[in-house]
Amino acid sequence: MRCENGGMPQVPTEILVPLRWSDMDAYGHVNNVQFVRLLEDARVAMLIEWFPDGLGRLDRGIVVARHEIDYLAPLEYRPEPVAVDVWVTRMGGGSYDIGYIVRDPEGVGPGLRYAVAETTLALFDVSAGVSRRMEPQERAVIASHLGEPAPLRRHR
């Protein structure tokens, strides 16, 4: 599926991720390292939503091979969660990329985008200790969420 709406599929998966008081840095903003945790939390929730076996998919072996993040605005702690839009930006034989936009959910905050990111997930056979190819069912699920590359600065 190719998109015309600024780098995501027509219907990305929205994941609401709570913030923690300890996420803040000395400036009162969510620390840059904690953004990676927000992405991880969204990615785990995405697996549960997208795949019938949910977290069992992790047992098949998926490892993070790369992260890229553009920070767009400071995110201050609040009791309401942030929304993380998640979609697939690239599919390969044994890996795929996930795009993210971290933003205010509808009706919360000033409606800002706080970060745009992309993660490469490599498929891994844990028992054999080697990379693995994408299974047909996995490929079908991942393909159903395929959209444009994440709107990172390097893509502009």
More confident residue, 55 or 125: 125
Instruction: List, for residues 58-69, the tens digit of each pLDDT value.
Output: 667 899 999 999
pLDDT over 80 at 99, yes or no: yes
Within a domain: 7: no
* Calpha distance 36→132 (Å, rounded): 25
Q: Give Cα 86 to chain centroid, integer Å.
A: 5
Measured distance CA(128)–CA(84) in Å, rounded: 34
Yes or no: say if 45 and 100 are a contact pair by the CB < 8 Å rule: no
8 lies in a domain? no
Q: Which two tokens stand for residue 101?
A: 């936009």
Reply yes or no on whether the pLDDT at 4 is more than 70: no
In a domain, 75, yes or no: yes
Give the model's confidence band at 53: pLDDT under 50 very low, under 70 low, under 90 confident, else very high.
confident
Give the H or E element holding residue 89. strand 82-91
Question: pTM of this prediction?
Answer: 0.88
Report the distance separating Cα 145 and Cα 153, nearest Å.
22
Q: Is residue 27 a part of any domain in this protein?
A: yes
Q: Take residue 154 and report the two structure tokens written for it.
A: 């390097």
Domain count of the chain?
Answer: 1
Residue 69 forms part of a structural domain: yes
Query: Nearest CA to 41 among 20, 71, 26?
Result: 20
In a domain, 4, yes or no: no
- pLDDT tens-place string over residues 124-142: 988 888 999 999 999 999 9
* Residue span of the structural domain in which 101 resides: 13-155
CATH of residue 72's domain is 3.10.129.10
> Is 36 within the bounds of a domain?
yes
Q: Is residue 3 part of a domain?
A: no
